A and B are shown apart, each in its own frame.
Chain A
Amino acid sequence: MIDWVMVLLTLIKLILILGVVLTMAAYLVLAERKILARMQLRYGPNRVGPFGLLQPLADVIKLLTKEDFVPTGADKWLFMLAPGLAAVTAILSFAVVPFAPALTIFGREVPMVVCDLNVGVLYFLGLSSLAVYGVALGGWASNSKYSLLGGIRGLAQLISYELSMGLSIVPVVLHARSFSLTEIVHAQETVPFLITNPIAFFIFMVSVAAESRRVPFDLPEAENEIVAGFHTEYSGMRFGLFFVGEYINMIILGSVTTVFFLGGWHGPLLPPIVWFMLKVLAVAFFFIWMRGTLPRLRYDQLMHFGWKFLIPLALVNVLVTGAVLLALR
């Protein structure tokens, strides 16, 4: 028998998450522009509404009313599909992110996660690998050399950093003895994994920055080398989808960083959901801060850093953590 209440609750959670995430993504764009501007001694957008707060709205209207352009010779269907892929894979990851402890409503235990998969970590890794299809297909279908170069760069970069990211989560899973994100958060009730395993945290942060294709790893869209990389040919709402996908990606990566290393919703005094939000925003701020600070890596530097430094370090880290955990048992 279908548990209708459960279905209804899940639907409500879905709508809530979608609404919150999309609003957050929109305002993250504004926040990024403002913070970057302040770091460069500018004001940033401050004309539309008070403090420029209506800027996201204006941007959406602009993007929606722009011409939807498909270049000649482009693979039409893939071209139109790719931005959607980029955004959808990012949103789907939220299904497994627990943002608060289970609530009890009307004597019924309601977990604050859409779906507490017991292989949540793998689900997240799988989706983040799928996300590269948005970049690769978009770059390939555009029938433009710049897009193609961007797409290839994106593919190579994601494959390289996927490995170190996966390896950096292994110690976390070893600690928590579970693939479920809720269990991982529970395991950090007293000490977050950031303290117990800072090296894994470092590797994860770097890989995550590379995953989200942001400065200093924004080679797929390096403006001053290959125009705009994989989204050179995109305009209007399709470009908007790529754009929003990037920021949703930033939120999801912030969320999983919070879940894996920052202790999820655990924190003193404030309610759990507030802690969760604060931590996600802190990670997002760190990404913005990094963008305002570091210059873009060269392509060979990126590959060297990934394959010759991060992956060996991650492997050693897995071995050491495993050995220590075994010894402590």
Chain B
Amino acid sequence: MPLLRDLKGTVQPFWVTLRNMFRKPVTIQYPEEKRQPPPRYRARIILTRDPDGGERCVACYLCSAACPVDCISMQSAEQPNGRRYATWFRINFARCIYCGLCAEACPTWAIQMSPDYEFSKYASIDMVYEKEDLLVDHGGKDSEYNYYRHAGIGVVNPRGGNEDEYGPVDIKTNMP
């Protein structure tokens, strides 16, 4: 019967709200109580280091190209041994939308999202982070990853002339 249903629909919610009144609120009282964000939470971006303590970033510009709001900028350069690095690296967090595309694009695991969400500022110029502010002294989510330590150095020295590198193989020796 529609009338009965309407009446029930009008009266029953009163009981629900009354019961809710005596339940404990679910609010987290923020500055005093803090919730632990999940490990993959996307907040402040960091630049990590490889296990040897060197910078992972090879200044490939992939993150800056992937960023939908163009908030990453850098200048690439080469060390004397040919290893690429960024002379300066800047993220404007006032524009960043924390989409994580930069971290996904990065081939070296250098740029990563960290769960540190508490960094509001009074002036938006303070939201512009330079390389020194972004660099941390750990490897982030994968501390063992070290694949790009020698990236690019083969261009400067002759093949086989770098540490941890074998000389060229004489393919004729493989013949029967």
**Which positions in A face B, CB cutoff 8 Å?**
35, 37-43, 289-290, 292-294
Size bin of chain B's contact surface? 10 to 19
Write the B1-27 contact mask toward A (1 if CB under 8 angstroms, else 0). 000000000100110111011011111
Out of B10, B14, B17, B25, name the residue touching A42 (CB < 8 Å).
Answer: B25
Q: Is the CB of A39 within 8 A of B26?
A: no
Given the complex, which residues of B lie within 8 Å of A293, measured CB to CB? Answer: 13-14, 16-17
In the assembled complex, the CB of B20 is this many whole angstroms from the nearest CB of chain A, namely 5
Contact of B17 with A41 in the complex, beta carbons under 8 Å: no
B24: which A residues are within 8 A, CB to CB?
41
Interface SS, B side: helix
Binding site for A on B (CB under 8 A): 10, 13-14, 16-18, 20-21, 23-27, 29
Given A35-B21, A42-B25, A42-B26, 14 other A-B contacts at CB below 8 A? A37-B25, A39-B21, A40-B20, A41-B23, A41-B24, A41-B25, A41-B26, A43-B25, A43-B27, A43-B29, A289-B18, A290-B14, A293-B13, A294-B10
Residues of chain B lying within 8 A (CB to CB) of residue A37: 25
| A61 smallest CB distance to B (angstroms) | 22
Residues of chain A contacted by B26 (CB below 8 angstroms): 41-42
Question: Once the chains bind, are B17 and A39 in contact (CB under 8 Å)?
Answer: yes
Q: Within 8 Å CB of A294, what residues of B?
A: 10, 13
Chain B residues contacting A40 (CB-CB under 8 Å) are 20
Cβ of B21 and Cβ of A38 under 8 Å apart? Answer: yes
Alpha-carbon distance between A35 and B18 when the two chains are bound, in angstroms: 10
Contact B21 A42 (CB under 8 A): no
How far is A294 from B29 in the complex, measured between Cα atoms in Å?
28
Residues of B within 8 A of A38 (CB): 20-21, 25
Question: By the criterion CB–CB under 8 Å, are B27 and A42 in contact?
Answer: yes
Max chain A Cβ within 10 angstroms of own Cβ: one of B18, B21, B23, B24: B21
Contact residues of A: prevailing secondary structure: helix
| CA of A37 to CA of B13, assembled, Å | 16
Contacts of A43 in B (CB 8 A): 25, 27, 29
Partner of A289, one of B17, B23, B25: B17
Q: How far is the CA of A15 from the CA of B10 in the complex (A)?
A: 41
Give 17 CB contacts A-B under 8 Å. A37-B25, A38-B25, A39-B17, A39-B18, A39-B20, A39-B21, A41-B20, A41-B25, A41-B27, A43-B27, A289-B14, A289-B17, A289-B18, A290-B14, A293-B14, A293-B17, A294-B13
Chain A proximity of B32: nearest CB distance (Å): 11
The smallest beta-carbon distance between B33 and chain A, in angstroms, is: 12
Nearest chain-B residue to A286 (Cβ)? B14
What residues of chain A lie closer than 8 Å to B10, measured between beta carbons? 294
Find chain B residues with CB under 8 A from A39 CB.
17-18, 20-21
Q: Which residues of A contact B14 (CB under 8 A)?
A: 289-290, 293
Closest 5 A/B residue pairs (Cβ): A39-B17, A293-B13, A293-B17, A38-B21, A292-B17
Contacts of B29 in A (CB 8 A): 43
Q: Which residue of A lies closest to B15 (CB)?
A: A293
In the complex, the chain B residue whose C-beta lies closest to that of A290 is B14
| Distance in angstroms between the alpha carbons of A292 and B13 in the assembled complex | 9
A29 nearest CB across to chain B (Å): 18
A37's closest neighbor in chain B, by CB?
B25
Q: How far is the CA of A293 from the CA of B20 in the complex (A)?
A: 11
What's the least CB distance linking A217 to chain B, in Å?
14
Residues of A within 8 A of B13 (CB): 293-294
Complexed CA–CA distance, A39 and B16 (Å):
9
Q: Which residues of A contact B18 (CB under 8 A)?
A: 39, 289
Residues of A within 8 A of B17 (CB): 39, 289, 292-293
